[in-house]
Amino acid sequence: DAKTTQPTSMDCAEGRAANLPCNHSTISGNEYVYWYRQIHSQGPQYIIHGLKNNETNEMASLIITEDRKSSTLILPHATLRDTAVYYCIVRVALTSGSRLTFGEGTQLTVNP
C-alpha cells in the first residue's frame, strides 16, 4: 500500500470547518483513499472513502485532486466531539482481506 503523509497536529475552532490534508503521491490506480479517526481510548472509526471523485456522507466530505496525489478531509462544522486522531490510508479496496496500514495520523483538536 502507498505511503501517506499528514501533518502531526491541527487545531480548529468549534463550529468552523476542519480541513485535514493528506499527501499520497505514490498512489496506484487501483488504490482508494480511506479516512478513519480514533477518539481517545476507542477503536478507529471509518469516516469515508473515495477513488477519484469527491465524496460526501453524513460525517464528512472527501476532496481528491485530479492527479490523485493528495486529498483533503473536510468536517464542515467541527464540534468538540470531533477531537481525535485522523488517519488517511490508501488501500487496494473492495477486497475483503485488505489490511489497513495506518501512519501516525493528524491529531485534530477542536477548541471551544
Partner 1 sequence: GAGVSQSPRYKVAKRGQDVALRCDPISGHVSLFWYQQALGQGPEFLTYFQNEAQLDKSGLPSDRFFAERPEGSVSTLKIQRTQQEDSAVYLCASSLVKLGGPNEQFFGPGTRLTVL
Is residue 102 at the binding interface for partner 1, with CB under 8 A as the rule? yes
Measured from the CB atom, the residue of 96 and 112 that comes closer to partner 1 is 96
Q: Is 86 in the site for partner 1 (CB under 8 A)?
A: no
Cα dihedral 88→93→97→102 (10° resolution): -10
Phi first, then psi: give them for residue 18, nearest 5 degrees: -105, 125
Q: By C-beta, is 2 or 14 nearer to partner 1?
A: 2
Note whether 17 binds partner 1 by CB under 8 A.
no
**DSSP H helical ranges for 10-95:** none
| DSSP three-state, residue 12 | strand
- Which residue among 96, 108, 109, 112 contacts partner 1 (CB under 8 A)? 96
Cα–Cα distance for residue pair 71/22, rounded to 1 Å: 5
Taking CB under 8 A as the rule, which mask of x and - marks residues 30-59 in contact with partner 1?
A: --x-x------xxxxxx--x----------
- What's the CA gap between 111 and 42, in Å, rounded? 20
Please report, as ranges, the residues that interact with partner 1 according to CB under 8 A: 32, 34, 41-46, 49, 85, 87, 93-105
